[in-house]
Amino acid sequence: MDHSSSPGQGPRTDIDLREFETILLRQRKRVSEGVQRIKEGTFSESLKDSTGESSTYDQHSADLAAETFEREKDLGLKEGLEIDLTEIDRALHRIRRGTYGYCVSCGGLIPEGRLRSAPEAELCLSCKESHEGQRAVGWRPVEEGVLRDFPPMGGFETLTDDINAEDKRMPEGPHRTHPR
């Protein structure tokens, strides 16, 4: 297999693009149906209606917590399926543009085996591993940046695996009783 191909050389001829388009369209239909079922089942009625009570005020907190948990779980599943839909749509768009099967990062060929296992794949394995590694190193929640500068305490101390780590961004003060 020639790995020097790039999107500038036109659509791939070593794989059956119509077959992958069919696979992606089938996946898209299945995922869309899943999103629709969740919308109809979970979000078609209010919390009050789904618990069968005329008021949520007299409802036991554990019952409300269970119902809220189920709704949040369904919301998370729906969001995951919507991400899948976006990835499938992007793959279908790449088929139409003639760039399907090429890595969007390095331009190299994505092996047919990877496309068969993940037809929506847009990165070769090497680039996928590289991108995942970059995201994991030093990643902290965005909220920490906001809270770090939030008065009146001037921030908060973040947890770290290394008890001897130094954080030069935070001054000594009443919120930090001893230096690290």
Q: Is residue 2 part of a domain?
A: no
DSSP 16-42: -HHHHHHHHHHHHHHHHHHHHHHHHHH
Same domain, 57 and 12: yes
Q: Is the pTM of this model over 0.85?
A: no
Cβ-contact 27, 88 below 8 angstroms: yes
Task: Let me know if residue 119 belongs to a domain.
Answer: yes
Tens-digit pLDDT profile for residues 70-81 = 888 888 899 999
Q: Which residues of the chain have pLDDT under 70?
A: 1-8, 43-60, 135-180
Count of domains in the chain? 2
**60 and 100 part of one domain:** yes
Whether residues 93 and 166 fall in one domain: no
Give the pLDDT confidence of 33-55 residue by residue, as tens digits: 999 998 887 766 655 555 555 55
Asked, for residue 169, whether it belongs to a domain, the answer is yes
The pLDDT value recorded for residue 100 is: 97
- Check which CATH number belongs to the domain holding 111 and give it: 1.20.120.910
- 13 and 54: one domain? yes
Instruction: Tell me which residue of 94, 95, 93, 106 sits closest to 5, measured CA to CA.
Output: 106
Determine, yes or no, domain membership for 100: yes
- Structural domain range at position 41: 7-139
Same domain, residue pair 47 and 93: yes
Let me know whether 32 and 118 are in one domain: yes
Same-domain check for residues 35 and 119: yes
